[in-house]
Chains A and B, each alone.
Chain A
Amino acid sequence: MEEVCARFVSQKISKARWRPLPGAALQPPDLFATGSWDNEDNRVSVWSVGDAGSAGLNGEYQGEPQLLCDIRHDGDVMDMQFLDQERIVVASSTGSVTVFRHHQNNQTLSANHRWENAHYHADQYTACGGAACTGVICNNPEIVTVGEDGRINLFRADQKEAVRTIDNADSSTLHAVTFLRTTEILTVNSIGQLKIWDFRQQRNEPAQIFSLTGDRVPLHCVDRHPSQQHIVATGGQDGMLSIWDIRQGTMPVSLLNAHEAEMWEVHFHPSNPDHLFTCSEDGSLWHWDTSTDVSEKPSFLHQGGRSTAYISHSTINQSVVSAWLSNDPTKDRMEITNLIPNQTLSVNTLDVLGPCLVYGTDAEAIYVNRQLFA
């Protein structure tokens, strides 16, 4: 894998996120943030990946991530999300949520705002330790966080107090959260449930609950298809990838045996949603590719004429729609590749944007691949 640059960074990486590209930018992302865990002194860091073709500051190997700035973070970085081009929201194992600002002019990071006790265990007297904030998702200016205390918070970036808090939303730990629509979120918990919450409703009950069939294996991550919002993917503690259609039923549409240990993150590619990426405690990172080759279509489509074009168009659409939801053994239509040749320790995090992939491991290394679809 010549396109992959590795860099050992002396801290176990728990989260890595590309900075979002402004508007309809065509160039690949060049900046990402990482968070560490299990250190006495954890850090949130911002890195840049140079353009291919330019030498680094000290003549180092181009393409290797360069540290721009970092800042101390209290507690493990449990989750991280860019709020906008300059601000990063970080969830901590102490239960606090911090908004950091990246100052481009002098390349520094500063803590902009902090919600100190976003997550905590209710009874201070019998409480055994703090409650970590396990997930954060942003839709500028709204920030939603979930935690080990089963609480859901809705913050606004400029407001001190939470806009809305749902206490005891869940009796188990909420592991991850993502936006379904602007007013609805999806959460997954440690008893194998996927829940939809609607903020327009005043009652503190989920709008809908989905459950895994069989054993209630904890779910660790969730992501929604970028364009077809009814398709949701979740990853479980047993490494299973589940695809759900939230328009129908309460059970997953397909279960795919993937990793041998916890699946930590699942991401649909934001602009190529036929591609899905998952990473796991077993040290592997899988690329799931359901995009079908036109040449594999049945022969009648190759005949010329307008009608053919119409058929092929709708068939392609259909294959895109049903690729993830298909109940058929998708083995002949889905290509799955492990992107890591020598796996050792857990891959905790990954992020994809455009042609770029970044992932971080417990072996204290960051990897960047800038030619994902080459």
Chain B
Amino acid sequence: GVPTPFNPSHSVSAGFCSRKHPMATGAACVFVVRRDQDIYMETLRKLFNESHGIFVGLQRCEEERAARARNAQLVQVSKNYRSVIRACMEDMHQAASKSVLSGQRFSAFFFQVSILSAMELIWNLCEILFVEAAPAGPLLLRLLDWVQLHICDVDNMVREVLSSENPSKHKLFWNVVDIFVLQGRMDEARHLLSKEAIANPTSMKMYKILDDLMKKMPLGNTQTLTEMELKWQHWHEECQRYLQDGTFASNSHMESICKILLGDENAILEKKELMTTWYHFLVTRLLYSHPTVKPMELRFYAQSSMDMFLGEESSPEPLDTILMAAFEFELHQVIKECSVALSNWWFVAHLTDLLDHCKLLQSHNLYFGSNMREFLLLEYASGLFSHHSLWQLGVDYFDHCPEYGRVYLELHIERIPLNTEQKALKVLRICEQRQMHEQVRSICKIMAMKALRNNRLGSALSWSIRAKDAAFATLISDRFLKDYCERGCFSDLDLIDNLGPSMLLSDRLTFLGKYREFHRLYGEKRFSEAARLLLMLMTAHIAPCSFWMTLLTDALPLLEQKEVIFSAEQTYELMRCLEDLTAGKLDRQKFQDDDVETMKVEMLRLALARNLARVIVKEGTLEGS
């Protein structure tokens, strides 16, 4: 295929398309990540999202106090995870059959399905051994269910035989009966055998005995262990007697079944092809020789079963190693092997988290300080953050990593590209909820800056208000004021007129609001109020010095009114302001290129003087005289 560069945003899918073929027999292959593996990624996204819901639910749910209730709770969570994996497998299966895939991709698809299947197999075993921690007795029943669930070729065979006209004459008939017996499905085996008995009346006597034996086999968790062992011993002896009497000598099939019932390892091993796996062999062995096996005894039987089954030719595959580690109750080994074999973090992260909730993992710290659960969750969540869309899930995972989660989140969240305002708002909300003030400020500044460059002053102000960023608010106000000076009128009046309490965010903003109010008052011909406001802006030093000239110039029309507006005191104040302004200027610059300025100053002085004259007369005049 065409090699494509490793794309970080596909790192999660790359992880799944593992570089080796851990689960299949045969040579290792290299899988190249392609962008068009969309169907695959689509299905995985469902896995990630649904499991995220289960994960968060587990962290948040209140712990049941009674041990048994807590156990049931955790088992339910485990079952939920498994059903999500199965749903994912189902989806992928359907998608693969529906879509038109070429041969190579088709097989790659089914390979992925088989990986999911292996994951479910491992998880199921871990659930039985660790989460549920089934004791001796129920343990075997769970293991039987486990085996039945995962060896699916049986169903096809069964269907074929049962749907045929004459089942007992079908070439696979005895295979099906055997597999039923091997899996402890006694009722189904007996049902099939009855067909043989009907078809072959000569073997009726043998059939009746075998049927009786199978019916009487003790299998159940309704009795105590000692009761069970006693019954079983009794039954075992009965089977032994029938075998030794040569009851089944004339029918090799039935004889072999009897031997299986007696737990004869050679007889069981003969049916290797039917069982297909060593762990099936293990469970069958246990069923017919040690049904009351204790969890801690499993390891011995597991090792010997694998040796016997695989023999000399084959060596254990990674899957076998993982399952063996589980049977040996080596939790850390299981996790380690899974991490290596699967090279994706989803499985180990969630499984480890669940096991941690079962209080099974020693908190032995890894060398850089955090424990295994946290390490795996951090790795998984980091992988999510490299995906353009799944980063939102990653947040919750970081939240539940007490040591380093916050730091990781702070670093990752700053790197999310903010292409729309809505996305920025979502990221901002995440930061605010976690009191990540620096990130809030930084994001708001970026968005405000963008808005400013696009001349969206209202948006820019809105972002500064959110971040309570006084400096930026000052910047925006200066922009407005600059616009006003250049154009002589305000832009965006709808904004300035409606600042409300946000006006107090910065002094410059307050000035802007008040200055606009001055203009409004003037427009409404409320001259004395306008005058008072204007003066206050200067004397209370709300106005920046650079703006004083403009303000004084604005005072001109008020001074020139027919009616006297400024009082004497106010006029003196204005004069003082003007003098302060010009005094400062004389030092710094010459007036040669500022004729306009000089003229303005002159006009102001004249207007102020004339106003003073008029107001002194007015104030000095007594009323009614």
Which residues of A are interface residues toward B (Cβ below 8 A)? 8, 10-12, 37-41, 58, 76, 78, 93, 121-123, 126-129, 131-132, 134, 148-150, 168, 170-173, 189-193, 195, 206, 209, 211-216, 218, 237, 261-262, 281, 342, 344-346, 362-365
Q: Specify the chain B residue showing the minimal Cβ separation from A189.
A: B458
- The answer to whether A215 and B501 have CB atoms under 8 Å apart is yes
Q: Which residues of B contact A211 (CB under 8 A)?
A: 498, 500
The answer on a CB contact under 8 Å between A190 and B500 is: no
Looking at the complex, which one of A128, A131, A195, A344 makes contact with B453 (CB distance below 8 Å)?
A: A128
Instruction: Determine whether B303 belongs to the interface, using a CB cutoff of 8 Å to chain A.
Output: no
26 contacts between A and B (CB under 8 A): A10-B42, A10-B43, A10-B46, A37-B423, A38-B388, A38-B423, A39-B389, A93-B419, A126-B454, A132-B422, A134-B421, A149-B456, A168-B492, A171-B459, A171-B491, A189-B458, A190-B462, A191-B458, A215-B501, A216-B465, A216-B499, A237-B466, A281-B425, A281-B429, A344-B396, A364-B49
Chain B interface main SS type: helix
> Given the complex of chains A and B, what is the CA–CA distance between A209 and B458 in angstroms?
15
A171 engages B425 (CB within 8 Å): no
Partner among B45, B52, B420, B499 whose Cβ is within 8 Å of the Cβ of A132: B420
Q: Is B495 an interface residue (CB 8 A)?
A: yes
Which residue from B9, B45, B455, B501 sits with its C-beta under 8 Å from A122? B455
Q: Are A39 and B388 in contact (CB-based, < 8 A)?
A: yes
Given contacts A170-B458, A171-B458, whether A191 and B495 have CB atoms under 8 Å apart is yes
Inter-chain pairs besides A171-B491, A172-B457, A189-B458, 6 sampled, C-beta below 8 Å: A76-B419, A123-B454, A148-B420, A149-B454, A168-B492, A281-B426
What secondary structure prevails in chain A residues at the interface with B? loop
Q: State how many residues of chain B have any CB contact under 8 Å with chain A.
A: 50
Evaluate contact between B425 and A262: CB separation under 8 angstroms: yes
B135 within 8 A of A: no
State the CA gap A10–B392 with chains docked (Å). Answer: 13
Q: Does B461 contact A (CB under 8 A)?
A: yes
Let me know if B498 and A172 touch, CB within 8 A.
no
How far is it, in angstroms, between the C-alpha of A342 and the C-alpha of B58 when the chains are bound?
Answer: 12
Tell me if A346 and B494 are in contact (CB < 8 A). Answer: no
Asked whether A214 lies within 8 Å of B501 as measured between CB atoms, the reply is yes
With most chain B CB atoms within 10 A of its CB, the pick from A11, A191, A218, A365 is A191
**A-B CB proximity, top 7 nearest:** A172-B458, A171-B458, A171-B492, A10-B42, A10-B45, A121-B454, A190-B462
Question: In whole angstroms, how far apart are the Cα atoms of A214 and B426 in the complex?
Answer: 23
User: Is B450 interfacial (CB-CB < 8 Å)?
Assistant: yes
A129 to B459, CA, bound (A): 15
If A173-B462, A216-B465 touch, whether A128 touches B450 (CB-CB below 8 Å) is yes
B388 in contact with A123 (CB, 8 Å): no
Instruction: Determine if B502 and A216 form an interchain contact, defined as CB atoms under 8 angstroms apart.
Output: yes
Residues of A within 8 Å of B41, CB to CB, are: 10
B369 at the A/B interface (Cβ < 8 Å)?
no
In the complex, are the beta carbons of A345 and B392 less than 8 A apart? yes
Give the Cβ gap from B451 to chain A, nearest Cβ, in Å.
8
> Is there a chain A Cβ closer than 8 Å to B57's Cβ?
yes
Say how far A344's CB is from chain B's closest CB, in angstroms: 5
Which residues of chain B from 539 to 568 have a CB within 8 Å of any chain A CB?
Answer: none
Task: For residue A362, give the distance in angstroms from its CB to the closest CB of chain B.
Answer: 5
CB distance from A71 to the nearest CB of B (A): 15
B residues touching A (Cβ–Cβ < 8 Å)? 9, 38, 41-43, 45-46, 49-50, 52-53, 56-57, 94, 388-389, 392-393, 396, 419-423, 425-426, 429, 433, 449-450, 453-459, 461-462, 465-466, 491-492, 494-495, 498-502
Contact A78/B420 with A128-B454, A148-B459, A262-B425 known, Cβ cut-off 8 Å: yes
- What residues on B are CB-neighbors of A37 within 8 Å? 422-423
Q: Measured between alpha carbons, how far is A8 from B42 in the docked complex, in Å?
A: 10
Taking a contact as CB atoms closer than 8 A, the residue among A8, A122, A191, A261 that contacts B461 in the complex is A191
CB neighbours (8 Å) of B396 from chain A are: 344
B49:A172 contact, CB within 8 angstroms: no
What residues of chain B lie closer than 8 Å to A206, measured between beta carbons? 494
Chain A residues with CB under 8 Å of B466's CB are 237
The complex places the Cα of A237 from the Cα of B444 at a distance, in Å, of 15
Most buried by B among A149, A193, A216: A216
Contact A216:B498 (CB < 8 A) given known A39-B388, A129-B419, A261-B429 = yes
Q: Are A363 and B498 in contact (CB under 8 A)?
A: no
Task: Find chain B residues with CB under 8 A from A131 CB.
Answer: 454
- A237 pairs with B425, CB closer than 8 A: yes
User: Which residue from chain A places its CB closest to the CB of B418 in the assembled complex?
Assistant: A129
Chain B residue contacts of A209, Cβ below 8 A: 494, 498
Among residues of A, the one whose C-beta sits closest to the C-beta of B87 is A8
- Determine the chain A residues whose CB is within 8 A of the CB of B461 once the complex forms: 172, 191
Minimum Cβ distance to chain A for residue B398 (Å): 14
Residues of chain A within 8 A (CB-CB) of B38 are 41
Chain A residue, CB-CB nearest to B465 = A216
Out of A172, A214, A363, name the residue touching B52 (CB < 8 Å): A363
How far apart sit A99 and B423, CA to CA, in the bound complex (Å)? 24
Bound-state CA distance A213–B502 (Å) is 11
Taken together as a complex, chains A and B put the C-alpha atoms of A171 and B451 apart, in Å, by: 10
Which of A189, A363, A365 has the most chain B CB atoms closer than 10 A to its own CB? A363
Residues of A within 8 A of B50 (CB): 8
Shortest CB-to-CB span from B70 to chain A, Å, is 19
Docked pose: A273 CA to B422 CA in angstroms = 29
| A78 and B422 in contact, given A215-B500, A218-B462, A261-B429 (Cβ under 8 angstroms) | yes
Give Cα A78 to B450, complex, Å. 20
- Asked if B49 contacts A126 (CB within 8 A), the reply is no
The distance from the CB of B418 to the nearest CB of chain A, in whole angstroms, is 10
Shortest distance between the CB of B180 and any CB in chain A (Å)? 28
B41 to chain A, nearest CB (A): 8
Closest-by-CB residue of B relative to A36 is B389
Chain A residues within an 8 Å CB radius of B42: 10
Quick check: A129 and B388 within 8 Å, CB to CB?
Answer: no
Contacts of B462 in A (CB 8 A): 172-173, 190-191, 216, 218
Looking across the interface, which residue of chain B has its beta carbon closest to that of A345? B392
- Give the residues in chain A near B495, CB-CB below 8 Å: 171-172, 191
Nearest CB of chain B from residue A300's CB, rounded to whole Å: 46
- CB <8 Å contact, A346 and B456: no
A342 to B425, CA, bound (A): 23
Known interface pairs A191-B498, A214-B500; A364-B458 also in contact (CB < 8 Å)? no
A37 CB → nearest B CB, Å: 8
Q: Is the CB of A148 within 8 A of B500?
A: no
Residues of B within 8 A of A346 (CB): 426
Hey, which chain A residues are within 8 Å of B454, CB to CB? 121-123, 126-129, 131, 149
CB pair A148–B46 under 8 Å, yes or no, is: no
How distant is A80 from chain B, measured CB to nearest CB, in Å? Answer: 14
| Least CB distance, B254 to chain A, in whole angstroms | 41
**Alpha-carbon distance between A342 and B494 when the two chains are bound, in angstroms:** 42
In contact, B450 and A193 (Cβ under 8 angstroms): no
A260 to chain B: closest residue by CB: B433
Among residues of B, the one whose C-beta sits closest to the C-beta of A9 is B46
- A96 to B: closest C-beta gap in Å: 13
B88 to chain A, nearest CB (A): 10
